[in-house]
Amino acid sequence: MAELPKHQEDLSLDTFVRGLWKENPVFVMLLGMCPTLAVSNSAINAISMGLATTFVLAGSGALISWLRNWIPKQVRIASYIVIIATFVTIVDYAIQAISLDLYAALGAFIQLIVVNCIILGRAEAYASQQRLVPTLVNSLGIGAGFTIALFALGSVREILGSGTLFGLHLFGAGFQPWVVMVLPPGGFFVLGAWLLLFNWIKQRGERRADAPTGVPANAR
């Protein structure tokens, strides 16, 4: 991986946008599954987690990109981890200061941002090779993609599991909440359902694009 040519990417809209869909960390790259599943039991938890992760992504990405010529190759992973852990500690203390309720709801998963593969993956694949500004923009894009994915999961689970969205009741008193959705199995089911939906959309698109040849759609 280290032998890749250091192609400097020019800053463009795509630098940001591809994190949202084409390289969406959760739905496309299947990274960062643990926090995705664990804290997506309500929309507000999901969004807070997304924002916290975005901050760590952007902060560590910027620092790593800035220091990229000084970090020796042999110890780069260890250096990245230490930088990431520093930013996570900042977020950890910041959330504790802002809202104790939120801190209790997210629990250990704030500190576990350190081992979120998305961040280390970005550090290795992007920040260590690119200039500061594109790295920052790209990190924000990936973070936004992560937040959107978390929100997609969190809102579905909250609506089905407790009949609310951001704590507001959506249905009348007759609604019987699907408790399973806010419990651990619900996380797996909802994420699986989203992936099914995206697979289906992608396959339909591919079938339309090359209908005559009929290339197997799940070649990836």
Partner 1 sequence: MHAESLPSIFLNAAIVNNFVLAMFLGICPFLGVSSKKETAWNMGLAVIFVLLVSSASAFGINWLLVNLELEFLRLICYIAVIASTVQLVEMFVKRYSPALFRSLGIFLPLITTNCAVLGLALFQTQKEYDFIQSLVYALGAGAGFTLALMLMAGLRERLALARVPNVSQGAALTLMLAGLLSLAFMGFAGLGGSHG
- Closest distance between partner 1 and the C-beta of residue 88, in Å? 6
4: left (phi over 0), alpha (psi -120 to 50) or beta: beta
Give yes or no for a contact between 138 and 15, defined as CB atoms under 8 angstroms apart: yes
Q: Residue 95 has which token pair? A: 């959330």
Q: Indicate whether 81 belongs to the interface with partner 1 (CB under 8 A).
A: yes
Q: Indicate whether 218 belongs to the interface with partner 1 (CB under 8 A).
A: yes
- Closest distance between partner 1 and the C-beta of residue 173, in Å? 27
Taking CB under 8 A as the criterion, the residue among 11, 120, 132, 165 binding partner 1 is 120
Task: Count CB atoms within 10 A of the CB of residue 77.
Answer: 13
Q: Indicate whether 71 belongs to the interface with partner 1 (CB under 8 A).
A: no
Taking CB under 8 A as the criterion, the residue among 17, 20, 38, 67 binding partner 1 is 38
Q: Indicate whether 5 belongs to the interface with partner 1 (CB under 8 A).
A: no
Please say whether the dihedral angle defined by the alpha carbons of residues 215, 20, 120 and 92, taken in this order, is positive or negative.
negative
Q: Identify the H or E element spanning 26.
A: none
- Nearest to partner 1 of 67, 217 (CB atom): 217
The contact pattern for partner 1, residues 96-115, with x = CB under 8 A and - = no contact, is ------------x--xx-xx
Stretch that binds partner 1, among 50-58, 134-142, 144-152, 196-204 (CB under 8 A): 196-204
- Nearest to partner 1 of 125, 196 (CB atom): 196
- Nearest to partner 1 of 82, 170 (CB atom): 82
Rounded to 10 deg, the angle between the 76-98 and 43-67 helix axes is: 140
The whole-angstrom separation of Cα 121 and Cα 86 is: 17
β-partners of residue 164 are 169
Q: Residue 197 has which token pair? A: 């939906």
DSSP 3-state assignment of 164?
A: strand
Q: Indicate whether 154 belongs to the interface with partner 1 (CB under 8 A).
A: no
The whole-angstrom separation of Cα 102 and Cα 184 is: 19
Binding site for partner 1 (CB under 8 A): 30-31, 33-35, 37-38, 77-78, 81-82, 85-86, 88-89, 92-93, 108, 111-112, 114-117, 120, 180, 183-189, 191-193, 195-196, 199-200, 203, 217-218
